[in-house]
A and B are shown apart, each in its own frame.
Chain A
Amino acid sequence: MKSYVTGAVSALAIAASSAAIAGPEAEVLHYWTSGGEAKSVAVLQKEFADNGGTWTDMPVAGGGGDAAMTALRARVLSGNAPTAVQLKGPAIQEWYEEGVLADISAVAEANGWADVLPASIAGHMKCEGTWCAAPVNVHRVDWIWANAEVLKANDIAMPTTWDEFNAAASTLQAAGIIPLAHGGQSWQDATVFEAVALGILGADGFRKAFVDLDKDTLTSDGMIAVFDQMRTMRGFVDPNFSGRDWNLATAMVMNGEAAFQIMGDWAKGEFMAAGKVPGEDFLCMSTPGEGFLYNVDSFAMFAVDGDEKKQGQDLLAKLVVGKNFQEVFNLNKGSIPARTDVALDKFDSCAILSSEDMAASSAGGSLLPSYAHGMALRGAQAGAITDVVTAHFNSDMSSADAVQQLATAVANSM
Chain B
Amino acid sequence: MIKWLEDNTPKMVLAPSFIAVLIFVYGFIAWTAWVSLTRSRLLPKYEIEGFIQYDRLFASPRWDTAFTNLFIFGILFIVIAMILGLLLAILLDQNIRTEGALRTIYLYPMALSMIVTGTAWKWILNPGLGLEATVRGWGYENFTFDWLVNPDMAIYTIVIAAIWQSSGFVMALFLAGLRSVDGEIIKAAQVDGIPTWRVYTAIIIPSMAPIFLSAFIVLSHLAIKSFDLVIALTGGGPGYATDLPATYMYAMAFSRGDIGQAASSAMIMMMVVFTIVVPYLYSELRSKDG
Which A residues are within 8 Å of any B CB, using their own CB?
63, 66, 69-70, 73, 76-77, 91, 94-95, 98, 184-186, 189, 238-243, 378-380, 382-383, 387, 390-391, 393-395, 405, 408-409, 412-413
Contacts and interface: CB of A to CB of B under 8 A. Distances in A.
A380 B42 CA distance: 10
Most buried by A among B42, B62, B128, B240: B42
A184 B42 CA distance: 28
Given A70-B254, A239-B127, A394-B241, A77 B43 contact: yes
B238 A394 contact: yes
B218 to A, nearest CB: 29
Interface of B: 41-43, 56, 59-62, 122, 126-128, 146, 148-149, 151, 154, 234-241, 251, 254-258, 261
B255 A379 contact: yes
Contact of A242 (B238, B255, B258): B238
Given A63-B254, A391-B240, A243 B235 contact: yes
Contact of A390 (B42, B59, B146, B239): B239
A184 B126 CA distance: 13
B255 A241 contact: no
Contacts of B149: 184, 239-243
B254 A391 contact: no
A345 B251 CA distance: 42
Contacts of A408: 59
A243 B60 contact: no
B258 A380 contact: yes
Describe B's contact surface by its main secondary structure.
Answer: loop
A405 B61 contact: yes
B258 A69 contact: no
Given A185-B235, A383-B251, A383-B258, 14 more contacts: A91-B257, A95-B42, A186-B239, A240-B127, A242-B148, A380-B256, A387-B61, A390-B237, A391-B62, A391-B240, A394-B237, A395-B241, A405-B61, A409-B60
Given A76-B43, A380-B41, A408-B59, A185 B258 contact: no
B245 to A, nearest CB: 15
Contacts of A394: 151, 237-239, 241
A379 to B, nearest CB: 4
A390 B240 contact: yes
A387 B62 CA distance: 7
Nearest to B43: A98
Contacts of B241: 394-395
A247 to B, nearest CB: 15
B41 A412 contact: no
B256 A379 contact: yes
A244 B128 CA distance: 12
Contacts of B236: 186
23 contacts: A73-B42, A76-B43, A77-B43, A184-B149, A184-B238, A185-B237, A186-B239, A189-B239, A239-B146, A240-B128, A240-B149, A241-B149, A242-B148, A243-B237, A379-B258, A380-B257, A380-B261, A383-B255, A387-B61, A387-B240, A394-B151, A408-B59, A412-B60
Contacts of B56: 412-413
Given A393-B239, A394-B238, A395-B151, A94 B254 contact: no
A69 B43 CA distance: 11
Contacts of A405: 61
Contacts of B154: 242
A8 B288 CA distance: 52
Nearest to A414: B56
A240 B126 contact: yes
A69 B257 contact: yes
Contacts of B42: 73, 94-95, 98
Contact of A186 (B126, B128, B240, B261): B240
Contacts of B254: 63, 66, 69-70
